[in-house]
Amino acid sequence: MNIEDLEKEKNEGIENLPLLERRKFLQMGLTVTGVFLGGSVLSLTSVSHASDQNTDPEMDIPTDDQYPYPIHYGMVMRQNRCIDCERCVEACKQTNHVPDGHGAYRTAIQERLTTENGSEKREFRPVLCNHCNRPPCVRVCPTKATYKDPETGIVVMDYKKCIGCKTCMAACPYNARYFNHEKYAIDKCNFCIDTRLAEGKKETACTAACPAKVRIFGDLKDKSTEIYHLLHTPDTKIWVLRPDTGALPNVFYMNA
Amino acid sequence: MTNKSISAIFAETAEPRLATPGMNRATIFFLIVTVVGLSCGVLSFIFGHHIIYNNTREMPWGMLISTYAFWAITSTGLCIYAAMSHVFGGTRMGIISNRMVWMSIICIMGAFATIGVEIASPHRMLIYNIISPNPTSNIWWMGTLYGMAVGCMIIEFAGIVTGLARIALILGVFGAIAEVLANSCLGGVFATLPARPYWYGAQLPIYFLTAAFLSGAAATILFNVLAYKIRGEKMSHAVHLGVKSAGKAMTLVLILYAVATFWRLVSFYVGGPELGRTAADALISGPLSINFWVIEVCVGLLIPIILIILSRLENVNMMAFAGFLVLVGQFVARYDLVVAGQIVPQNLGWDGLPPFFNYVPSIFEFGVIAGGIGVVAFGFLMGERVFGKTFTQKEHH
């Protein structure tokens, strides 16, 4: 599925949908997946029973108890706001003691040049662990050294159990894992669960450091959070990275 | 049940004729290769894996993983043929099956030696594989099953040596089952990663099993011919028939493997994710193309088929050379498979990345590979020296 090509499709909007369909569609929010060319939500995959708008909506609208975790953390990237200042990268490094060199980083800004209407455009894309609902890294770990935190759904590491087989690195669709040569174990973003959330802070270091408010972090279930609001705003085009892998990521991208 | 002392057992199994100066030199040479080669791997524990090996965040697996897979796959093949001969009879390989069991154990030792220095913290594996197992992990099953397989085969071999045929037979069957399952899980390690389209898919575990039948037959021919070369003896008619059977098996599986390789690559060009297609390009026309066309296809498939035809399954030297070439081809095929799965950047199109990463194994990685070859060669020579009569005793019956 090529998101770029799909983005070029004419957006027919959702206003032409029958009222009932439209209501169902909007209600679906996080369960909508795949492509709805007649609508605006490109791909939104956070629950495993997600399906498109043509199936029984009763099956697709998640209620609170259908979320896999009591607090379901996720992140929205408002991609077009990113200016590549890399304060997020630096804040993450300082907060989480990410070592120098040997490919060690928990979050990064990717960059590419595109051409739009004849003029070159520079595009930035922040990336980090997607804390997938069906995380390939967790499944493959032989010793349960990496696992989903049962309270928050965050994919965390238990360093002492890591044998360094690097299968999780091979399995990750997002290149989110690295060999931490100081800890001598594989390491990754953990949404600052130990360095900030444990202290009662509500944001990750990268989110707090971002001057352009690119990153919005929060509980996907909590209707009062900004992330919930963003993900449920009608007529918003939302996508995830590599939806084809079926990992059901919890980091969502939009231009806003 | 016998009450023979260990020395009495060895007196019956040993082949003192092989204690020649030349053999001793060869044995010591391969022992040195083993020690020096694996020392390169031990350096990784001292200076750090990130310093000693050329693996990166983007390409976490390299030649050590592929070589591990190569030896493990060869071990599986040897074990299956031996067990089939032991259990069902009917194949002429029965007469050489004791040597195949031994070499299956030795090949898996070569695999363990290689992976043992590839894993960053093997000591943690010994603890947490047991107290914190993950039943959804292919790596866990693979390690556990190969461990069980080698345990079964060692007891099986002890049964063969001490004349406890029933124990040998039963453990041989369990060993072979564990080897097949382990091989399947090894294929599954790669086949169940949707992030890597070049690996992902149901074909790969079967492909690995096919490779096991291919490598196992090739190793059977090669090691048996070598065993008679070092004795300076002509192969007996019965052993010749056994080697011939292995030659037939190798020819058949060569064709199956070639067909599987063909369709595997074609599948990437008819659809599916771009990452898989670009990875296939690496073999067809990219940085792995010489490996693929010259070594995998010509050296590992076409020339062996021609040699087998020319040998008419009679000229054992030519067959042994064909077997050797098949093993070379399989070694490179495993390398290409492991590397191609990771060589295309997952975020291609961003950060100005080239379509292929550049991975060249470090000198230390080559050292470990040499160490693994040393383990197998040393094990082969020691096996012939210490258990030589066991390998040939059926001829005299």
Rounded to whole angstroms, what are the CA distances from B246 to A254, B78, B324, B334, B357?
Answer: 60, 10, 13, 22, 39
A117 with A153, same domain? yes
What is the token pair recorded at B336?
A: 């290409």
Q: Which residue has the tokens 């004419």?
A: A10
The domain of A42 spans 3-62+214-250
pTM of the model: 0.90
Determine, for residues B121 and A162 on separate chains, whether the beta-carbon distance falls below 8 Å: yes
Number of domains in chain A: 2
Which residues of chain A are within 8 Å of residue B351 when distances are taken between CB atoms?
110-112
* Greatest pairwise CA separation for chain A in angstroms: 58
B196 and chain A in contact, CB less than 8 A: yes
Residue B342: which of A241, A130, A242, A173 has the closest Cα? A173
CATH of the domain at A182: 3.30.70.20
B317 and chain A in contact, CB less than 8 A: no
Rounded to whole angstroms, what are the CA distances from A144 to A56, A159, A160, A184, B390?
Answer: 36, 10, 11, 16, 44
Rounded to whole angstroms, what are the CA distances from A142 to B25, B132, B136, B142?
Answer: 42, 8, 8, 10
Helices (H), A13-86: 19-28, 57-60
A149 with A229, same domain? no
Spatial contact of A253 and A239, defined as CB atoms under 8 Å apart: yes
Chains A, B: CB contacts within 8 A come to 133
pLDDT digits (tens), chain B, 397 positions: 445 677 888 888 888 888 899 999 999 999 999 999 999 999 999 999 999 999 999 999 999 999 999 999 999 999 999 998 877 776 688 888 999 999 999 999 999 999 999 999 999 999 999 999 999 999 999 999 999 999 999 999 999 999 888 899 999 999 999 999 999 999 999 999 999 999 999 999 999 999 999 999 999 999 999 999 999 999 999 999 999 999 999 999 999 999 999 999 999 999 989 999 999 999 999 999 999 999 999 999 999 999 999 999 999 999 999 999 999 999 999 999 999 999 999 999 899 999 999 999 999 999 999 999 999 999 999 999 999 888 876 654 4
A165 and chain B in contact, CB less than 8 A: yes
Determine, for residues B128 and A161 on separate chains, whether the beta-carbon distance falls below 8 Å: yes
Domain-located, residue A74: no
Domain-located, residue A151: yes
A102 and chain B in contact, CB less than 8 A: yes
How many other C-beta atoms lie within 10 A of the C-beta of residue B372? 29
A128 with A237, same domain? no
Domain-located, residue B3: no
CATH of the domain at B327: 1.20.1630.10
Find which of A140, A158, A244 to mutate to test the B interface (most B CBs within 10 Å of its CB): A140
ipTM: 0.93
How many other C-beta atoms lie within 10 A of the C-beta of residue B87? 15
A14 with A110, same domain? no
Spatial contact of B205 and B69, defined as CB atoms under 8 Å apart: no
A95 with A147, same domain? yes
The domain of B50 spans 17-396
A103, closest residue in chain B (CA to CA): B57
B60 and chain A in contact, CB less than 8 A: yes
B132, closest residue in chain A (CA to CA): A143
CA distance B347 to B278: 13
B126, closest residue in chain A (CA to CA): A163
Which residues are A219's β-sheet partners? A73
A90 with A15, same domain? no
- Nearest-neighbour CA in chain B from A158: distance (Å): 11
Write the CB contacts of B29 (distance below 8 Å, at least 6 apart in sequence).
none
A141 and chain B in contact, CB less than 8 A: yes
A176, closest residue in chain B (CA to CA): B57
A44 with A114, same domain? no
Residue B287: which of B349, B348, B335, B347 has the closest Cα? B335
State how far Cα B7 lies from the chain centre: 32
How many other C-beta atoms lie within 10 A of the C-beta of residue A207? 23
A175 with A146, same domain? yes
Determine, for residues A163 and B346 on separate chains, whether the beta-carbon distance falls below 8 Å: no
Determine, for residues B129 and A143 on separate chains, whether the beta-carbon distance falls below 8 Å: yes
Number of domains in chain B: 1
- Nearest-neighbour CA in chain B from A170: distance (Å): 7
Which residues of chain B are within 8 Å of residue A184 when distances are taken between CB atoms?
48, 120-121
Domain-located, residue A36: yes
Domain-located, residue A75: no
Domain-located, residue B10: no
Task: Kindly report, residue by residue over B97-147, the tens digit of the pLDDT.
Answer: 999 999 999 999 999 999 999 999 999 999 999 999 999 999 999 999 999
Domain-located, residue B7: no
